Structure 1
Amino acid sequence: MSDAIANAWDYLRGLPQPTLADLFEDEGRVAAMSDRIEWQAEEGDSGILFDWSKTHLSDELLAGFEKLADATDFRDKRAALLGGEKINVTEGRAATHTAERGIGAAPVVEEAMALHARMRMLVEAIHQGALGEINHLIHIGIGGSALGPALAVDALTRDLALVDVHVVSNIDGVALEAAFAACDPATTLVAVASKTFTTIETMTNAQSALKWLEDNGVTDPTGRVVALTASPEKAVEWGVDETRVLPFAESVGGRYSIWSSIGFPVALAVGWDEFAAMLAGARAVDEHFRDNDGRANLCLRAAFADQYYARLRGCQTRAVFAYDERLSLFPDYLQQLEMESNGKRVTSGGDPVDASTAPITWGGVGTDAQHAVFQLLHQGTHLIPVDFIASIAPGDALDPAHHRILLANCFAQGAALMAGGNMAKDGKDPARAFPGDRPSATMLCDDLDGATLGALIAFHEHRVFANAVLVGINPFDQFGVELGKKMANDVEAGGASFDASTQALLETAGLG
């Protein structure tokens, strides 16, 4: 750690810790700590309001974190990311997911646009019947190759799906059988999403899907497969015709890959225009992230709050609650994005980190969560920052009372976490006391459509990157997932030696 970075942290640790009540004595706080990111929609501008006023960030703390950002060379590292430099230092490659949205080095953007055009041609050909009647798609992947498509398909097809999509990631055959039961093999395509086209869980599921098609009278099962991969030659070797291979760049990481051909099931389900809207919403956030510095950069401001709670207040978790059923998978998506990216114990230079990197991300859907985990948030002994996400426009056509009650609950929870109080008539019962001064942030969307979803995802991608820069780690490798996979492969291959407990479990299950 450089002297400048150490001094910035020392300065931050020495600052006073204001309460939320103290901070709200400033009548201009809400305006100063709330801002919008907008984009052009069919009916005028649309966007998301980011309200961080109910966090403990003071002007002094923000200024201190801005000094930290300068000390960590945030601007240069942001430029390196967006310029296509080899920001992933441990693997010696760039991270080019923003190029999929049109932001990046010109040759990389040009290649991404060409691959998008190829995907669009296949999507529209399928919609026009080039492969016969297609009513279902079984999308097989794992990790980011499954979580992103599952989130987007679930969020955007509640009203209408052009093709019924089932995302399968688990090697547990129960998951694949459930997809089989929901699909007619005569009108089903299979998408196999694997960066290397060697991932054992994905390829095993893919083989079982081919067998299911064959067993149910499909004479050319591989003719029903679309391959989404950074290794197109391996997909062709596996038997997929090159016209149905949709490549993406090796420099697009799995958890950042929904913008690439991994988004094929999304485009197939909702149509190319809505997928393009996702890209446009994400690009609006890219431009904001690129063009703003310090606290004016909302992704960086969110990272300032994350670091304040993780490093200065010792918070080990951060909760995310979507007050919209269409975003029920968003906390799951963020778990991988944040914890796989920033769950590191060494710096980019290989030195041990000296404090927390990423909190544990968890969450759920409101109002369900209010009757489960919110008891701990309000009265438990843990201090847990909370993010609320909601949409002003409802996603249903029922009595407007449904949406009014939903939003009222969302906003009331943030207010209650901050204010606290005592619900006893005399105000003296400790069991009914709420300490308050508990932080939250709110992301209030004008509506929830493709552009909004794209913007929400891109916002969190850049928030993750900003956090990584502030603590000096590489968010683009994930070696932590490899050891367990290697040992599982050793079990499958046989002959490996394990500890006594694992050996006993293997023998009890008939695997030893």
Structure 2
Amino acid sequence: MTSLTQTDNWQQLQSLAQGLNGQHMRDWFKQDDTRAQRYTSQACGIELDYSKNLINDEILAALYGLAEARQVSAKRDAMFAGDIINHTEGRAVLHTALRNFSGQPVLVDGQDVMPEVLATQDKIKAFVERIHSGSHKGYTGKAIKHIVSIGIGGSFLGPKIMFEALKPYWYQDIKLHFVANVDGCHIQDVLAGLDHEDTLIVMSSKSFTTQETLQNTLTAKAWFLQAGGTQQDIAKHFICVSSNIKAAVDFGMDEDNIFPMWDWVGGRYSLWSAIGLPIALGLGYENYRQLLEGAYEMDRHFVEAPAEQNLPMLMGLLGIWYTNFFAAQSHVLLPYYHYLRGFPAYVQQLDMESNGKSVAGDAEQVDYATGPVIWGSEGTNGQHSFHQLIHQGQVLIPADFMLPLNVPNQDDTHHAMLASNCFGQTQALMQGKTYDEAYAELEGKGLSEEKRHALATHKTMPGNKPSNTLLFSQLDPKTLGSLVALYEHKVFVQGAIWGVNSFDQWGVELGKVLGNNILAKLTDRDAALDFDASTNALISRFRAANQ
């Protein structure tokens, strides 16, 4: 197989990138008053303005050509069809089936998975109704008022961040609490403020053996029993999402309250499965269904829209453009909406766990950069800290700005200020400030010529820094579902072009195995230490401090 970097498409893009030397987006906007209109696309309630990017029609055509040559559309169709595209684990990749409202079957190994998917959705709906109506009571007859969701990775980030983002839609009679960290301080702090008689524990672990999740659940169980509950009472206060039904029943859970998982759903894509049960409990089932429907609409857009109007394709190709042809090592997400502040962390796992790979599907080491570092924070806080690096640093950092045009209980002054900062930042990154502009600003400031020149040099900003702006009328459940699916498919596009398997995570698995090996040495103080010298010394220090 010809190396990606040696293909004609790649070589053409390298040439086009070099051809931009000396060109500036500021001039492009002056020369073309239709640029913003031409480089804006809409779908599923989301408007993407990608005009402030280092692109022109020729570059876009070359990027579309790269996607075609790398068979992105064919790989996309194989995913939706249930083909085994996670080849290292021999699995289909069908998180999209979990939000499939087409009425059409989805086959895995010749079997339609949709009846089981729909049955699970009905089970979630019925359980949520029992909790919200008060018909499901704790062992002393109290209605459930608090829900503690215990998970790790996608089983934690998905429910927590989606729930936080939709605060205006919270079901007010239920309070959700999320626990992931195996640090005992976290679970202890959460449980300390709760009454065990009106608390429901939702444990999410496909295997029922995930170290952090299992230990936190065992701690919650001990808390429940010490507070007065019995082993028989656990069935009314503990439920789980798992494929290991026997382990859950042995724990004390009611088999009717065990929700299934499937091998063809990866953890970072699992919020659409019963892992999303805490979201449904916290928002109500209808709002949860709207989240699924928004994702389904983005799925259809990804499949049906031509490349030049396809939001995931556009964003994925722009990411390729900067990562591989401008040596961009990171990508920053900047939501200008307080409730969406956790979204960068969600995309961080989604992107970096998916495409942080160095081996292509043909088992060959790649000779090009793959997944970038994903990071970010809410606006406008970042403007007073890390935006400085984006404006004047030496490394190119592409940015995604996100803003709802309307927010619940809107204060027009606050929201206008928020929007002005968002739009002002994208403008400043694009146009920058020339030396002459900075020099002119200092006229009449009483500075010597030498000082004026020096200060103007420091105040000069190169601009030409790329950004996308994503606008939506409001962040309701449906729009959030579309937004999450947009980034899922963007990651897919990039993985398909790089030729990596975006659906395994062997680096994560190695950490789990080594962590378990070390745990055995920490708990058995007499066990011989047979690791490297540094690890042995660290274990010895821990043993000495915990005698």
TM over 0.5: yes
1:122 corresponds to 2:127: yes
- Cα pair 1:490 1:496 within 8 Å, conserved: no
Q: 1:91 aligns with which of 89, 92, 95?
A: 89
1:155 corresponds to 2:165: yes
Matched position secondary structure for 2:7? helix
Q: 1:224 to 1:60 in 2, by over 3 A?
A: same
Tell me the equivalent position of 1:257: 270
Tell me the equivalent position of 2:216: 205
Matched position secondary structure for 2:271? coil
Q: 2:190 aligns with which of 175, 179, 197?
A: 179
1:218 corresponds to 2:245: no
1:479 corresponds to 2:512: no
Counting only pairs closer than 5 Å after superposition, residues 194-343 of structure 1 correspond to structure 2 as 194-219=205-230, 220-343=233-356
State the Cα distance separating 1:511 from its structure 2 match.
7.1
State the Cα distance separating 1:423 from its structure 2 match.
4.1
- Cα pair 1:140 1:202 within 8 Å, conserved: yes
Q: 2:413 aligns with which of 389, 393, 401?
A: 401
Tell me the equivalent position of 1:461: 488
Q: Distance in 2 between matches of 1:248 and 1:492?
A: 28
Tell me the equivalent position of 2:470: 443
State the Cα distance separating 1:114 from its structure 2 match.
1.6
- Cα pair 1:23 1:58 within 8 Å, conserved: no
Which deviates further from its counterpart, 69-78 or 221-230? 221-230
Q: Distance in 1 between matches of 2:490 and 2:499?
A: 14
Match for 2:306: what amino acid?
A: D
- Cα pair 2:85 2:92 within 8 Å, conserved: yes
Match for 1:131: what amino acid?
A: H
Q: 2:71 aligns with which of 73, 76, 97?
A: 73
1:147-183 superposed Cα distances (whole Å, 9 cap, x missing partner): 0001011111356434211110000011111211332
Tell me the equivalent position of 1:42: none
Match for 1:260: what amino acid?
A: S
Runs of 4+ that moved beyond 6 A: none
Structure 2: give runs of 5+ residues left out of the alignment: 138-142, 444-452, 522-527
Q: Distance in 1 between matches of 2:181 and 2:271?
A: 19
Q: Distance in 1 between matches of 2:227 and 2:321?
A: 57
- Cα pair 2:42 2:48 within 8 Å, conserved: yes
Match for 1:510: what amino acid?
A: R
Scaled by the length of structure 1, what TM-score is found?
A: 0.95
Tell me the equivalent position of 1:369: 382
Match for 1:325: what amino acid?
A: H
Q: Distance in 2 between matches of 1:159 and 1:111?
A: 28
Q: 1:411 aligns with which of 408, 423, 432?
A: 423
1:351 corresponds to 2:384: no
- Cα pair 2:89 2:504 within 8 Å, conserved: yes
1:38-87 superposed Cα distances (whole Å, 9 cap, x missing partner): 3xxxxxxxx11111111112211111111111111112111101111111
Q: Distance in 2 between matches of 1:314 and 1:241?
A: 53
Q: 1:274 to 1:159 in 2, by over 3 A?
A: closer
1:82-116 superposed Cα distances (whole Å, 9 cap, x missing partner): 11111111111111100011067262233211211
Which deviates further from its counterpart, 405-414 or 2-11? 2-11
State the Cα distance separating 1:328 from its structure 2 match.
1.0
1:265-319 superposed Cα distances (whole Å, 9 cap, x missing partner): 0000110010001011111110100102322211011111100100000000000
Q: Distance in 1 between matches of 2:420 and 2:153?
A: 34
Larger Rg: 2
State the Cα distance separating 1:28 from its structure 2 match.
2.1
Tell me the equivalent position of 2:447: none
Matched position secondary structure for 1:170? coil
1:309-356 superposed Cα distances (whole Å, 9 cap, x missing partner): 000000000000110010111011011000000000000221111100
Q: 2:115 aligns with which of 85, 110, 119?
A: 110
- Cα pair 1:23 1:56 within 8 Å, conserved: no
Q: 1:135 to 1:511 in 2, by over 3 A?
A: farther
Q: Distance in 2 between matches of 1:396 and 1:504?
A: 56
Q: 1:51 to 1:77 in 2, by over 3 A?
A: same
Matched position secondary structure for 2:331? strand
Match for 1:506: what amino acid?
A: I
Which deviates further from its counterpart, 167-176 or 179-188? 179-188
1:160-212 superposed Cα distances (whole Å, 9 cap, x missing partner): 43421111000001111121133221110000001111101100000000111
Matched position secondary structure for 2:375? strand
Tell me the equivalent position of 2:14: 13
1:491 corresponds to 2:515: no
Q: 1:32 aligns with which of 33, 38, 45?
A: 38
Tell me the equivalent position of 1:432: 459
Match for 2:280: what amino acid?
A: A
Match for 1:117: what amino acid?
A: D
Q: Distance in 1 between matches of 2:372 and 2:27?
A: 26
RMSD: 1.7
- Cα pair 2:234 2:252 within 8 Å, conserved: no
State the Cα distance separating 1:496 from its structure 2 match.
4.9
Which deviates further from its counterpart, 288-297 or 360-369? 288-297
- Cα pair 1:395 1:448 within 8 Å, conserved: no
Match for 1:119: what amino acid?
A: I
Match for 1:502: what amino acid?
A: T
State the Cα distance separating 1:426 from its structure 2 match.
4.0
- Cα pair 1:69 1:294 within 8 Å, conserved: no
Matched position secondary structure for 2:371? coil
Q: Distance in 2 between matches of 1:34 and 1:114?
A: 40
- Cα pair 2:529 2:536 within 8 Å, conserved: no
Tell me the equivalent position of 1:44: none
Q: Distance in 1 between matches of 2:59 and 2:520?
A: 54
Which deviates further from its counterpart, 15-24 or 408-417? 15-24
Q: 1:308 to 1:151 in 2, by over 3 A?
A: same
Q: Distance in 1 between matches of 2:283 and 2:50?
A: 33
State the Cα distance separating 1:470 from its structure 2 match.
0.8
Q: Distance in 2 between matches of 1:297 and 1:329?
A: 25
Q: Distance in 1 between matches of 2:28 and 2:265?
A: 41
Matched position secondary structure for 2:178? strand
Identical counterparts, % of pairs: 38
Q: Distance in 2 between matches of 1:234 and 1:474?
A: 31
Q: 1:142 aligns with which of 148, 152, 156?
A: 152
Matched position secondary structure for 2:430? helix
1:367-391 superposed Cα distances (whole Å, 9 cap, x missing partner): 1111110111111112100110110
Match for 1:460: what amino acid?
A: Y
Scaled by the length of structure 2, what TM-score is found?
A: 0.89
1:505 corresponds to 2:538: yes
